Structure 1
Amino acid sequence: MGILSGNSKDEPLHYGEIFDLWQSSMTAKGCISAYRALQFHAGDKGLKKILSDLIDQAELEVSECDAILIHNGIASSPTMPARPEVKSEDIPIGARFSDPEIAAMIGADTAVGLAACSQAMGKAIREDIGALFAKYHMTKAATGLKILKMSKEKGWLIPPPLQIKRPELVEA
């Protein structure tokens, strides 16, 4: 039996896996802080629910990634300080993010998260690390679809140029 056989949780992490776990934890901690702030700006109940779900998912990712890092003797990234609560009506109009802006921001964040999870999955040689990022990928994909559907229903989505009329093909 070699060093990379048996229970994958007992195998050593390679530097790419360590970085991906650390970076995912740090990014999730930043998202928790940012999404909590965006909750204060949001007015739509559905948008607030998605932000709450994103915060819950980010907290899960932090706890799971940090647990693996700590188990392997690696310090995790620092946690952001808690934000004071504020009511959206107390945020000046010019400084307040609108619901369509928030939806676009979290949609873009989710898309970037999908790409990062795919890269981590492809880089992993420990099955448990690959499976962990696959789980995060599936959750982000489902959340991305919720954001897209909500943005379409609310009229917030700004589509790229659409090909309404297709050119006729000329046969030679």
Structure 2
Amino acid sequence: MTTFWDAIKSVLGSLLDEEPVPPLHVGEVMTLWTLLTIYEEGQVIYKIALNTTTDAELRHAVENAVHESLQDIEMVRDFLIKEGVPLPSVSAEKPDSESNQIPLGVKFTDDEIANLIIGKITACIALCGQGVSQGLRTDVTIILLRSMSRLLQFSAPYRSLMRKRGWIKPPPYYYPPGV
């Protein structure tokens, strides 16, 4: 069985070897293209959240999400451009607005914002994991792992905030038969 260090050595060796890099396969392109789309559309969601929320902790978490997401957008976008992959079209940027000027029936509640963002994070983590398992190129795998690690780092304190505010929506509990 391969040890952890053997696996690391293999990955590093594949980055340094002189073999020609194969073209991206359809799955790698689709994963990266979809990830970029989710990240860029996420910027619109984050802007709506910042325009809507008055919760200081949630605002701070969303501002962190904007910053982290911009780094991943740049990383994936640059890679796709370098590989000659057409970029997805995305929604136009939202203008700044004041929360108290948005009618209550129109704006998201803090609970809705938090669950929308955690849903996006969860989908991106799953997409990255799927892409890592299907990827053949080491550079693609590294991009996906880097992106996944940022998402995991961001999600831990975000989940704590959601628990503290009562915003987590757990599925029904499972009770085995006979319990």
Partner of 2:148: 137
Within a 5 Å distance, the mapping from 1:1-172 to structure 2 comes to: 6=17, 10-162=21-173
Q: TM-score, normalised by structure 2?
A: 0.81
> Structure 2 vs 1, CA of residues 74 and 163 (structure 1 numbering), >3 Å: closer, same or farther?
closer
Write the deviation string for residues 13-35 of structure 1: whole angstroms up to 9, x where unpaired.
22211222222111111111111
Identify which of structures 1 and 2 has the higher relative contact order when contacts are C-alpha pairs closer than 8 Å and 6+ apart: 2
Question: What is the root-mean-square deviation of aligned Cα atoms in Å?
Answer: 2.4
Of stretches 11-20 and 122-131 in structure 1, the one that deviates more from structure 2 is 11-20
* Structure 1 residue 8 displacement after superposition: 8.0
Work out the percentage of aligned pairs sharing the same amino acid.
Answer: 21
> Structure 2 vs 1, CA of residues 78 and 161 (structure 1 numbering), >3 Å: closer, same or farther?
closer
Q: Counterparts of 1:8 and 1:99 in 2: how far apart (Å)?
A: 51
Q: TM-score, normalised by structure 1?
A: 0.84
> Structure 2 vs 1, CA of residues 8 and 72 (structure 1 numbering), >3 Å: closer, same or farther?
farther
* Unaligned ranges ≥5, structure 1: none
* Unaligned ranges ≥5, structure 2: 1-13
In structure 1, what residue type is equivalent to 2:37?
M
